[in-house]
Chains A and B, each alone.
Chain A
Amino acid sequence: MNWRQGQGHGADLRLPLPARLCLLTLLSPPLSSAAPISPAEPISQAYSLALYMQKNTSTLLQTYLRYQGSPFSDPGFSAPELQLSSLPPATAFFKTWHALDDGERLRLAQGAFLALTQHLQLVGDDQSDLNPGSPILLAQLRAARLRAQGLLGNMATIMTALGLPIPPEEDTLGLVAFGASAFERKCRGYVVTREYGHWTDRAVRDLALLKAKYPA
């Protein structure tokens, strides 16, 4: 169900970003009718989607690395020190994470997946430039972005159901993205695909916690 919703968003990808955001908002459940909706159902849906996404994150990262050449394609490649300032890291101290209230938890995840969708778009553009002859990688990047968008929609529904304010969408990338060298772009793609996995793992935990709190 949510997957289809994600596909619906994907159909509007060619539109300029503001238009897309508008559409995304329109497709989201109306804010006004927030109160009567039970949060259990959207939480369950979001949880299912997050679990589904979790199955494919590792494949996406491996596919991405395979196409980037050395050192990325070297066996066992890992560079945890590489980070992107525009992308919030998924790692957090457990105590801190556990102490978060529902609203804060959802807000952080929502912000991360919003950044991820934009970054995945950027990486997809980079890769269609670098590896135009690799439809598998491009398809996987596209699928990941659509799922992230779908999860975003689900989270907005949950927040509405819980009566939480939905944070405004903002351009997380800014102007820095375009001057990067080829190597930097490869690194960027690596960080994005890696963090996509980490944030998906975290979202599963987040939603599991919520699911326990709001049983159907």
Chain B
Amino acid sequence: MAVFEVFPTVFFLTLLSLRTYQSEVLAERLPLTPVSLKVSTNSAHQSLHLQWTVQNLPYHQELKMVFQIQISRIETSNVIWVGNYSTTVKWNQVLHWSWESELPLECATHFVRIKSTVVDARFPEPNFWSNWSSWVEVNVQDSLGQDILFVFPKDKLVEEGANVTICYVSRNIQNNVSCYWEGKQIYGEQLDPHVSVFHLSSVPFIRKTGADMYCEVSQGNVSKGIKGIVLFVSKVLEEPKDFSCETQDFKTLHCTWDPGVDTALGWSKQPSQSYTLFESFSGENKLCTHKNWCNWQITQDSQETYNFTLIAENYLRKRSVNILFNLTHRVYPMNPFSVDFENVNATNAKMTWKVHSMKKDFTYLCQIELYGEGKMMQYNVSIKVNGEYYLSELEPATEYMAQVRCADASHFWKWSEWSGQNFTTLEAAPSEAPDVWRNVNSEPGSHIVTLFWKPLSKLHANGKILFYNVVVENLDKPSRSELHSIPASAKSTKLTLNRHSYQVWVTANNSVGASPASIIVISADPENQEVEEERIAGTEGGFSLSWKPQPGDVVGYVVDWCDHPKYTLCDLQWKNVGPNATSTVISTDTFRPGVRYNFRIYGLSTKRIACLLAKKTGYSQELAPSDNPHVLVDKLTSHSFTLSWKYYSTESQPGFIQGYHVYLKSKARQCHPRFEKAVLSDGSECCKYKIDNPEEKALIVDNLKPKSFYEFFVTPFTSAGEGPNATFTKVTTPDEHSTMLIYILLPMFFCVLLIMIVCYLKSQWIKETCYPDIPDPYKSSILSLIKFKEKPHLTIMNVSDCIPDAIEVVSKPEGTKLQFRKSLTETELTRPNYVYLLPTEKNYSGPGPFICFENLTYNQAASDSGSCGHVPVPVNNPPSQLGLMISPENVQKALEKNYMNSLGEISAGETSLNYVSQLASPMSGDKDSLPTNPVEPPHCSEYKRQMAVPLCLVSPPPTENSSLSSITLLNPGEHYR
């Protein structure tokens, strides 16, 4: 109690003394002022380092003080930073404080001053600030040297995203300075005439070797030099991820983590971040040599709990993560070993393995995985050191793979890695009868039975099938059964059996034994072939088949078909269907579009006899016909024709033929009555006729126009469409009259032929009638007369020398003597109205006597006619005839003298023209002077039509241009003047 009373008294006295002291100090004002302020610089860190002392501190006293520091830049009045620094000050202590400038110190002069105050609890308010110390100037620029340009800060290390201030100091303000950041010009603010400052905000990481900033000094256009800096921008150090530790043997802890980005930089500016492990319970730490894992030695067995801190560190930043764990909860066991199998048989095996020993009473939980036949089974088992497990219900003759892994059973942390081994179970007898089917071909007196079977599945074969046994037993006639052993590679066998009933057993055999038998009974009766085939439509999924149930008991149904119906080895397939089913779907990948599949459905009686119930046929997908029929054109008339394609096979097409399309093109716009208009794929229009019956393979196209051009095209169609496009066949209908013409021409031809035959037969008569033989003048009676007159020079005119179309007309008009020589063409002869005169120049040089000729051949006839006074003129002086120079008087005399026949004389007074015309004259040597008109034999009848033409009507010879009808009357005197 006394103590408590004394204490306040002491306290009061102490306080009083302090107050007295304080008042003394404060009264002096100056004693606690900071003195001896010195400022040093660290250019690399851009920091000012201050050191000072406080005067007049009581000896061995400690005082809490606050120092206020002011920093100015360029000039003292430009205060850029003010801050307080609190610390406990001892007597005679030198105080240190640092300040980091964002601006490189070389860029500007800095000024620093400081003042202080006491904030010690022993000195309650009021507090007084000391006076400011004097300004201390910090000028680094002076020590730079004499270079023309400086850029700061040099080789600064910053973190990505930091703000950086860069400056340059140019010695000569006349120089032009351009600065570039990573090759791109940047513009700063001028701090003073020599210094410019650039603020780079949030600098990115560019490369490990740093980002470049340089300035180029130039005077005018002359480059004076370049100066630059490299700014080292580091990536931000990341916190390590997924940090964890575990042990496999209770001796070593293995710690791992994901380090994140590497923050190393070039020029050794910053190495990769370091990692340190610190364990707080033991107080130990370890510098890790790898960047993502570290091993920690467990030294004390007693320590169960660990508290690890992983510290990642680089020059700029430190990051740490922490984990706390119990060692026994972090056991990651080593792999099991010596995995083996014992007592392996067809369905069981014993698996054994070993694990590494850990601590005492350490229990493992092991997991076994068994892979086989595409399945996986999993089992768990707890063990101590040696593990074993009985694998049962295995498949015979199967390769298995078993693997095992283990974990701490009491505190599960992690499974070990797997350790595994393969083993194969032994074989067993096949467990199921093979699936057998047959095909029966009945031949006279025997059945050819082909047995087919499907290989047993691996599940049922229980090993490798070595052979099949086929046992055939005659049911009708007791005899020994036949055994056929077929190698395993065969899938069928052929048996030739008599027309008896047979029972066939088929078994599959492996090295252990035989499978149950598959039984089939072959009936003695031939298969019922009278079942009608029904068409069905398939789908992409397959064929849906249904049938009427077989009367009586059945054990099932079988549907069979060929996978390749077009081939000889058609690959018979079958499907077993249960006894209660009356429908099934056959689906297989082998069905192809456009292939017709034939299905047979059998019912299996209880006696295992198969009875054909139904036949189905169809396409999984119908296609358009692959080819078009070859069409023949028949019965072509002017109004119709018939198209026929009777040899076109509808069965071998990739779809059920539903009918035919007949396309007809003609010039007529309108289609025929039964046709309809259609547009072809090429856009052209035509007419189309549809035949709905696939067996109707002919079409009569009628109502056509004669002598017209038609084109047709016949194509079959299925449900999938028409046949391929092909060219149209061209047909031209014949002319309507041409047939009539034939009807007329043909009889005419026969008539002419008949006439010709008759003519031939009656040729003698016709000849005699139309052109009798010309009498031979040598045989004529006139010769005797001539001979009689003794005219040795007189010759008979030869017919071949005769000019048939020339006459000489001799005229003797009174008082004048003119000679004309006339020529008449054959035409003129036939047209007596026109007589052409052909004068010959030589002969008309002077007047001459007329000569009158007479064809003696026609003498008789001419005299008979009496129409013209023909005077027979004997040609007694042929040379003189050439010149025709005989005087008319002589001629007249000669005529009177020589021709003494009884012919009537015609006096010159009765007619002015007297001529005798005939074919020949003996002027063979004077042909040149004759007209060149064609010489033709005169018509037999024309001779009689010769007549005299009066001289006054004689026309001149025709010129090419003159008309035949013109008649020119010439006065001979005038003409030949």
Q: Which residues of A contact B (CB under 8 A)?
A: 69-71, 74, 79, 81-82, 129-132, 181-183, 185-187
Contacts and interface: CB of A to CB of B under 8 A. Distances in A.
Contacts of B151: 183
Interface in B218-237: 223-230, 232
Contacts of B229: 181-183
Given A79-B226, A81-B224, A182-B269, 12 more contacts: A70-B214, A71-B180, A71-B212, A71-B226, A71-B228, A79-B225, A129-B267, A130-B209, A131-B209, A182-B230, A182-B267, A187-B228
A183 B266 contact: no
A26 to B, nearest CB: 35
A70 B212 contact: yes
A131 B268 CA distance: 10
25 contacts: A69-B207, A69-B210, A70-B182, A70-B212, A70-B214, A71-B180, A71-B216, A81-B223, A81-B225, A82-B225, A130-B209, A132-B266, A181-B154, A181-B155, A182-B210, A182-B229, A182-B230, A182-B267, A183-B151, A183-B214, A183-B229, A183-B230, A185-B267, A187-B226, A187-B228
Nearest to A132: B266
A104 to B, nearest CB: 31
B209 A69 contact: yes
Interface of B: 151, 154-155, 180, 182-183, 207, 209-212, 214, 216, 223-230, 232, 266-269
A129 B270 CA distance: 11
Contacts of B268: 129
B145 to A, nearest CB: 12
Contacts of B180: 70-71
B155 A182 contact: yes
Contacts of B232: 182
**Chain B interface SS verdict (over half):** strand
Nearest to B154: A181
Closest 8 interchain pairs by CB?
A182-B230, A70-B183, A181-B154, A183-B228, A69-B212, A81-B225, A70-B212, A130-B266
A181 B147 CA distance: 15
Contacts of B209: 69, 130-131
Contact of A130 (B224, B225, B267): B267
Contacts of B214: 70-71, 183
A8 to B, nearest CB: 31
A177 B227 CA distance: 17
A72 to B, nearest CB: 8
Contacts of A185: 267
A69 B214 CA distance: 11
A156 to B, nearest CB: 36
A129 B269 CA distance: 9
A146 to B, nearest CB: 25
A38 B224 CA distance: 48
A130 B225 CA distance: 23
Contacts, number: 61
Contacts of A129: 266-268
A212 B260 CA distance: 66
A131 B214 CA distance: 20
Contacts of A81: 223-225
B183 A71 contact: yes
Nearest to B183: A70
Given A69-B209, A74-B183, A82 B226 contact: yes
Nearest to A78: B223
Nearest to B181: A70
Nearest to A69: B212
Nearest to B208: A133
A71 B227 CA distance: 10
A121 to B, nearest CB: 17
Contacts of A71: 180, 183, 212, 214, 216, 226, 228
A44 B224 CA distance: 41
Nearest to B224: A81
A184 to B, nearest CB: 8
Q: Which of A81, A132, A182 has the most CB of B within 10 A?
A: A182
Pick from B151, B214, B229, B269 the residue with the most CB of A within 10 Å: B214
Contacts of B207: 69
Contacts of B183: 70-71, 74
Given A70-B182, A71-B214, A130-B209, A79 B227 contact: no
A82 B226 CA distance: 8
B333 to A, nearest CB: 42
A98 B275 CA distance: 64
A71 B179 CA distance: 11
Contacts of B267: 129-130, 182, 185
Nearest to B207: A69
Contacts of A82: 225-226
A113 B209 CA distance: 30
A71 B226 CA distance: 9
Contacts of A132: 266
Contacts of A130: 209, 266-267
A79 B154 contact: no
A118 B462 CA distance: 84
A183 B154 contact: yes
Contacts of A79: 223, 225-226
B266 to A, nearest CB: 5
B227 A183 contact: yes
B89 to A, nearest CB: 38
A185 B268 CA distance: 14
A130 B230 CA distance: 11
A129 to B, nearest CB: 5
A131 B209 CA distance: 7
A185 to B, nearest CB: 8
A16 to B, nearest CB: 22
Contacts of B269: 182
A186 B155 CA distance: 12
Nearest to A179: B154
A176 to B, nearest CB: 12
A28 to B, nearest CB: 36
Nearest to A182: B230
Counting chain A CB atoms within 10 Å of each CB, the highest count among B216, B223, B266, B269 belongs to B266
A186 B207 CA distance: 16
Contacts of A187: 226, 228
A71 B223 CA distance: 14
A74 B226 CA distance: 14
A74 B209 CA distance: 16
B625 to A, nearest CB: 73
Nearest to B229: A183
A182 B269 CA distance: 10
A139 B664 CA distance: 88
A70 to B, nearest CB: 4
Contacts of B230: 69, 181-183, 186
Contacts of B182: 70
A181 B211 CA distance: 13
Given A129-B267, A130-B266, A131-B266, A183 B212 contact: yes
A6 to B, nearest CB: 29
A79 B214 CA distance: 13
